[in-house]
Structure 1
Amino acid sequence: MKKGAWAERAVPGAVFALHVTPRARRNQLSEGEVLKAEVTAPPEDGKANAAVAELLAHALGVAKSRLTLIKGATSRDKVFRLD
């Protein structure tokens, strides 16, 4: 995905609910009924969470530090907030 492809969604305070698939073949975001994130990182020691944050930040065109995981640290369903 091109950097900043979802830049129009990068509004401070925006909330992003994603369904995550760890250990996927490649890193990608897709839209449908829900946002889906596939990451190659394993779900160990927060590696998948960090990979999802990096992928989402890249798509939004913002720094990874602006995203906060507010729900779902150990779940496949996660909610991030853009600060």
Structure 2
Amino acid sequence: MTFIIQEKPDGLIFKIRVQPRSSKNRIAGLHGDALKLNITAPPVDNAANKACSAFLASLLPVPKSAVQIVSGHTGRNKQVLIGCPECSPERETIRKLIRSWVDG
């Protein structure tokens, strides 16, 4: 399977697989066609989702509010939207950063 970053008018969407209650927040490579994230937060009261969004925002030149989980709120498999309009000069930088996580 191949990791895909979907282009949308309001941002970039990609799949993630979340492993909650990990020893530290980190990108752990690929899990099928999804980017695997280890998150320290537990999967209760939306804590892992919030931690996941905050972690991704800390790695990208975007505010926390620009990272949204668009599907999979209650499961480990999720889709994430990184808000960056098509006309945004940061869009290519963000795409390259995400791709670098996958390609090493």
TM-score normalised to the size of structure 2?
0.64
> Sequence identity, in percent?
36
> Where do residues 71-82 of structure 1 align in structure 2 (5 Å cutoff)?
71-82=71-82
1: distance between equivalents of 2:41 and 2:68? 19
- Per the TM alignment, residue 22 of structure 1 is displaced from its structure 2 partner at its CA by 0.3
> Any unmatched runs of 5+ in structure 2?
1-9, 84-104
Give per-residue Cα distances to partners, 1:10-50, cap 9 Å, x unaligned.
xx510021000000011001333531111110000000000
Structure 2 match to 1:54: 54
Q: Which runs of 5 or more structure 1 residues have no equivalent in the other structure?
A: 1-11
Match in the other structure for 1:26: 24
Aligned residues: 72
Deviation >4 Å, runs of 4+: none
**Contact 1:29–1:55 at 8 Å: present in 2 too?**
no
How large is the RMSD of aligned CA atoms in angstroms?
1.3
2:93 matched residue in structure 1: none
Matches within 5 A, 1:6-21: 12-21=10-19
Aligned to 2:38: 38
SS at match of 1:25: coil
Q: Which has the higher contact order (CA 8 A, sep 6+)?
A: 1
Q: TM-score, normalised by structure 1?
A: 0.79
For residues 82 and 19 of structure 1, the distance between their equivalents in structure 2, rounded to whole angstroms, comes to 16
Secondary structure in 2 matching 1:74: coil
Match of 1:54, as an amino acid?
A
